[in-house]
Amino acid sequence: MNQSKNHIRFLVFIPALLLGFTYYAQEVPSLKENIPYMVTFGLNSDTSLGDDDFSQTVFFAVPKQHLAPVYVRIFDPETFGGLDEIKEGANTRMKYFVYGGKDSYSDKDARNTNPVGNYKSGTLLYSRIFGSEKETDQKWVSMGPFNPEQGEFVAELDAYVFKVIIDGMKGNDGNIYKLFLSTKNTENVAVEGGNAFVYEYSVRLQMAAYSLAHLYPYADNLVTSINISCFDFDNDGQIKLYSNVKNGHLVTTMDNNEWSHSIHPIIEEEHNKCLDLQIVKNGDFKNDMVFYITNQYNAPIPLFIKPIGELPKYKYKISVKSIVKPK
């Protein structure tokens, strides 16, 4: 794939009021999104399969009040079995990294939409390679424990942030998986007040035709427009943008192995809120694709796993006309 994406031009922070997430904010993807899995292909894969750069980065924020250890859990970490997309004999390996410490989040390359430069910034806390191990097929595996203070403290979030990177290594198979931030090693128990967000999202949509998926980009008070970028949509339905003032604005889409870009103005009434990007699927086939969204300065904005506050809902304007009866 020859098209490159823009680098971050300045640091975008998220205000502390965004904390206070519930259970589903810590499963990535979440039930709120109605997206079943993330997908990362091996380094030798064809981008037409739906992964543009064979890498995924997820950020988890742990509130500073939380003192107990945390775990990053992976469902189906290997590329083997019925869930994964096997091309030639399960020849692919995946490498998982957990980073914390200084610059793991705040380095601009960490929030880039391409795995270039210093995207593995910070202190490496954990790494593990998975290949075709049968024992982890469709099972949860834990990384950790991690002391919350091993993350990078981000004052604007009032939280310690951990960065999880999943890189496809040599091979051409697709890894279908999900993550969970947990207080337990052997089960999924949410961190109270924890959250998760991404700046680029490689996902597999539901198989069912007419299913509806959601993405929740956050527009801070500096955003005046957003550019929605989507890769490899396969013309599989429609994408619409909703907010308190937008009632289903159509988003540009493209066919297989192509990028689409769609610019939408953001007004004051939409500031400091999540938008609702809705993907309405037409077909009943597998569809893997990539999303990222930038602001007017080409800086990526965060996609939250659970919307901040209430679900974005269009506010209808009701006009009332007075009728004057003739005398």
Q: Are residues 144 and 280 in the same domain?
A: no
- Residue scoring higher pLDDT (140 or 4): 140
CATH number, residue 274: 2.60.40
Residue 172's pLDDT band (cuts 50, 70, 90)? very high
pLDDT at residue 59 above 90?
A: yes
**Cβ atoms of 301 and 198 closer than 8 Å:** no
In this structure, how many other beta carbons lie within 10 angstroms of the beta carbon of residue 77? Answer: 24
**Cβ atoms of 244 and 273 closer than 8 Å:** yes
Residue-wise pLDDT tens digits, 60-113: 999 999 999 999 999 999 999 889 999 878 899 999 999 999 999 999 999 999
| pLDDT score for 82 | 87
- What pTM, to 2 d.p., does this model score? 0.91
Cα angle 200-234-176, degrees, rounded to a multiple of 5: 50
| pLDDT score for 8 | 43
| pLDDT score for 306 | 81
Residue 23's pLDDT band (cuts 50, 70, 90)? very low
Closest CA to 295 of 198, 201, 225, 199: 225
Residue-wise pLDDT tens digits, 117-167: 999 999 999 999 999 999 999 999 999 999 999 999 999 889 999 999 999
Q: Are residues 171 and 33 in the same domain?
A: yes
- Residue scoring higher pLDDT (89 or 47): 47
Report, as an integer, the average pLDDT of 249-276: 96
pLDDT, averaged across the chain: 90
Q: Are residues 252 and 115 in the same domain?
A: no
pLDDT at residue 10 above 60?
A: no
- Residue scoring higher pLDDT (314 or 274): 274
| pLDDT score for 25 | 61
- Residue scoring higher pLDDT (283 or 7): 283
Rounded Cα–Cα distance for residues 170 and 54 (Å): 10
Q: Are residues 225 and 283 in the same domain?
A: yes
Residue 309's pLDDT band (cuts 50, 70, 90)? confident
CATH number, residue 177: 2.60.120.380
pLDDT at residue 327 above 70?
A: no
- Residue scoring higher pLDDT (26 or 185): 185
Q: Are residues 164 and 227 in the same domain?
A: no
Q: Are residues 159 and 254 in the same domain?
A: no
Q: Are residues 223 and 284 in the same domain?
A: yes
Residue 310's pLDDT band (cuts 50, 70, 90)? confident
Rounded Cα–Cα distance for residues 56 and 164 (Å): 8
Q: Which domain holds residue 125?
A: 25-198
CA distances from 195 to 119, 181, 319 (A): 21, 8, 40
Rounded Cα–Cα distance for residues 126 and 15 (Å): 28
| Residue 3, domain member (yes or no) | no
Q: Are residues 171 and 211 in the same domain?
A: no
Listed residues 164, 198, 232: the one ending a domain: 198
Report, as an integer, the average pLDDT of 179-201: 95
